[in-house]
Structure 1
Amino acid sequence: MLHVAVCGAGAFGRNHIRIYRDLEQQGAAASLAVPVRLAAIVESDPSRSQALHQELNVPVFTSIEDLLEARAQGQIIVDAVSVCVPTSQHAAVAAPLLEAGIDVLIEKPIAATREEAAALVALAAKNQRIVQVGHLERFNPAVAAMQDCLNGPMFFEAHRLSVFTPRALDVDVVLDLMIHDLDIVLSLAKSPVRDLHAVGLPILSGKVDIANVRVEFESGCVANFTASRVSTERVRKLRFFQPHQYVSIDYARQDLLVIDVSAAATGAAAGAPSTPAIPGLPAGLALQKPKVEPGEPLRLEIISFLESVSTRQTPRVSAEDGQAALDLALTINEAIAEHARRAGLDRFASPAIFRN
């Protein structure tokens, strides 16, 4: 049996707790190689920790140090931990867990700085621990279904828009939202970044709330990213072009659309009749809707983490993957800051009343 804990019981942490408890109660029906048990929670807020203890009847500790002390004394067993604290605390929480020989699932981004990320990667290697980074969209069923369609993508368009909430304001929109798409595109482009241009503005917080980035890879692949947390609508889409194909993913709807151009060309050459597959689509283009098995991405992510812990196999989103996504995100933030200095964008800074 794997004994797991959750550190941080805010919005993200509560979902981790819910899924671990659900997998525990499902037992063999959860289709896990090894059963799981929610063994403990770490939550520094006294009222929240007391409520969790009463609700779930599991030990709740106010600090990671207390959790590790109880484990050292044999009071609890902990094999793996979900780290769901604010980004600024990721390294401080994950490092002692790794030193203690505990595997960790760290919510994205892996850390707040390059130095912290490098230290966590080194600790994982030194202690032979599993580190999975919570880049949730890798586990989106539409992304899983897309894998069979890949054929050398060369142009990406990613849009991630959200309405403003006071959540995650310890980081900017690049580290909060755009990093999901950065991770996906890095995993698909499989090429070093050659150049990038970025612009971003603070709107309602003291950090950048809306950003647009153009990234060029050494392979010649180009990607455009737009992220906003001050939108009036919610959009989570990725589109890309590859030889003879256009692929569109709607993360929220878990929907995948493929338009095949080569099939149209073949049909035209053979004299086959062609009609528009959908309104507005030129005659001869072939439309496909690959089957997508619906599922909750976080549940799939946690199950994948538990399988890596039990089999000791490299996670689908490794510490090195998280490190690469963070490095690109921080490079983008540096480019945004440089552009703001050149363009004199201080006048767009949010009023002091909105600053953290």
Structure 2
Amino acid sequence: MSSASVVPLRVAVVGCGAFGRNHLRVYQTLATSGVPVQVVALVDPNPGARELAVRDHGLPAFATVADLLAANLSLDAASVCTPTVHHADSAVALLEAGVDVLIEKPIAPSLADADRILAAAAGHARVVQVGHLERFNPAVTAALPLLHRPMFFEAHRLSVFTPRSLDVDVVLDLMIHDLDVVLALADSTVREVRAVGLPVLSREVDIANARVEFESGAVANFTASRVSTERVRKLRFFQPHQYLSLDFARQDLLMIDVTAAASLTPQQLEALLAGSGKSEVAAAEAKPDRPAGAEHPSAGLSLRKVPTEPGEPLRLEIEAFLSAVRTRETPRVSGAAARDALALALAIQDSIRDHRSRSGLV
């Protein structure tokens, strides 16, 4: 059946800030390219934003989700791009009205709110997908078939300061992307969390470091900052005989075979990455055009650049959401998976508060 013969899904975008405008852009691009989807309305409490929606897009705009639902527009789905504190109220109202939802990350500000969303989705047989878009990054997609018991992860996500998403701290703003990815790759429950963090330019924590141990024995270190002088989006992880380096921004995946490291413990892997191993990764990444299978300058190491299929993660995310709406399949980033990422983020926040209290910083 051609896409032309499929009835377009009728979608609303709730929240016309930066995230909402990007969702609108992607939906409209997909529609122009022949994907059967149609944005039929926008929602924003700001009168100016609603006026721009009408003027620039010719779309009806409503002040509240209740007003949207009262208009009886026969909605199939909606993107919820409001500030995090409003996610649950907006999503639950839509779900109870029979509308599938794509919610920007994090799923909610609290586990209680996340559970409200999941209960509404289950009670009304609705799809909930959450916008952890790095799961759709081509580098992550390319890494999935290569997984075999990863045991040590190191994630760095650094940004320059912008007056955006200041309603949440850096853990819920930036680090949660890597928490979600590592939870998916590690495929294990969390055993222990230790973290430190400080506010720098805002009232919330702007820079944080967390160490997470899993029941599998795997260890993960996360660093996130929104007060950096550079932009970094990288994840490195060790598994038996290999370590892999993902550059989210470049959508690159580098794999280094460690033929001499047959039986390292997670602690030894961590020491290797913190010391000479880290410099080897840096040296390899400095020359990404090295031929596939080439020997690394260090004895026992060979590297190759894993092929990736370039693509905009947000577009891939929205395409996956629309597919889930049509097929009723569980999304790649389900509400339950997003709740797990939120639970870990909140545990990290608790550890940061405890450390600051013990250190006399509160």
Given the two structures, how large is their TM-score scaled by the length of structure 2? 0.88
> Which residue of the partner structure matches residue 91 of structure 1?
88
Could you say which residue in structure 1 is the equivalent of 2:25? Answer: 18
1:208 to 189, 205, 210: 205
Bigger CA drift: 285-294 or 301-310? 285-294
> How many corresponding residue pairs?
327
Q: Does 1:116 align with 2:132?
A: no
Is 2:104 the counterpart of 1:107? yes
Verify the 8 A CA contact 2:15 2:82 in the aligned structure 1: yes
Q: Which residue of 1 aligns with 2:249?
A: 252
Does the 8 Å CA contact 1:132/1:319 hold for their aligned counterparts? yes
Alignment-mate amino acid for residue 254 of structure 1: Q
SS of the aligned residue for 2:88 comes to helix
Matched, 1:171 2:168: yes
State whether residues 215 and 224 of structure 1, in contact with CA within 8 Å, keep that contact through their aligned partners in structure 2.
yes
* Structure 2 residue matching 1:12: 3-state secondary structure: helix
Q: Deviations over 1:178-221 (max 9, x none)?
A: 00000001111111111111000010111100000000011100
312 and 239 in structure 1: CA distance in 2 versus 1, 3 angstrom threshold: same
Write the distance in 2 (CA, Å) between the matches of 1:134 and 1:54. 28
Q: 1:276 to 1:48 in 2, by over 3 A?
A: closer
**1:328 partnered with 2:344:** yes
Instruction: Report the alpha carbon displacement of residue 92 of structure 1 after superposing the two structures with TM.
Output: 1.1
Contact 1:276/1:285 (<8 A) preserved = no
d(CA) in 1 for partners of 2:120, 2:217:
35
Give 1:136's match in structure 2, choosing from 133, 136, 156.
133
SS of the residue 2:255 aligns to: strand
Determine the structure 1 residue equivalent to 2:66.
65
SS at 1:200 equivalent? strand
Quickly say closer, same or farther: Cα 1:202–1:264, change in 2 above 3 A: closer
Unaligned runs of 5+ in 2: 1-7, 263-290
SS in structure 2 of the partner of residue 323 of structure 1: helix
Kept in 1, the 8 Å contact 2:142–2:307? The answer is: yes
1: CA distance between counterparts of 2:50 and 2:292? 58
User: CA deviation digits over 1:287-318, x for unaligned, max 9?
Assistant: 11111111000000000000000000000000
Q: Name the amino acid aligned to 2:43.
A: V
Residues 135-194 of structure 1, C-alpha deviations (whole Å, 9 max, x = no match) = 010000110011121111000000000000110000000000000000001111111111
1:305 matched to 2:321: yes
Q: Which amino acid aligns with 1:24?
A: A
Looking at structure 1, the residues matched to 258 and 347 of structure 2 have their Cα atoms a distance apart, in angstroms, of 36
8 Å contact 2:295–2:302 — kept in the other structure? no
Structure 2 equivalent of residue 52 of structure 1: 53
Letter in 2 for 1:291: P
Q: 1:189 aligns with which of 186, 189, 199?
A: 186
CA distance in 1, matches of 2:260, 2:310: 28
Q: What's the counterpart of residue 270 of structure 1? A: none
The structural deviation recorded for 1:284 is 4.2
Tell me which residue corresponds to 1:43: 44
Instruction: State whether residues 263 and 286 of structure 1, in contact with CA within 8 Å, keep that contact through their aligned partners in structure 2.
Output: no
Moved more, 40-49 or 243-252: 40-49
> Which amino acid is the alignment partner of residue 314 of structure 1?
T
Deviation at 1:277, TM superposition (A): 7.2
Distance 1:264 1:69 in 2: 63
Aligned mates of 1:315, 1:59 — CA distance in 2: 29
RMSD of the TM alignment (CA)?
1.8
Answer whether contact 1:199 1:335 (CA < 8 A) is retained.
yes
Secondary structure in 2 aligned to 1:316?
coil
SS at match of 1:345: coil
The AA in structure 2 aligned to 1:55 is D
Cα distance change, pair 280–99 in 1 and its aligned pair in 2 (3 A): same
Counterpart of 2:301 in structure 1 is 285
User: 1:196 is aligned with what amino acid?
Assistant: V
Q: Partner letter of residue 207 of structure 1?
A: E
- The alignment's TM-score, normalised by the length of structure 1, stands at 0.89
The sequence identity of aligned pairs, in percent, is 62
2:280 match: none
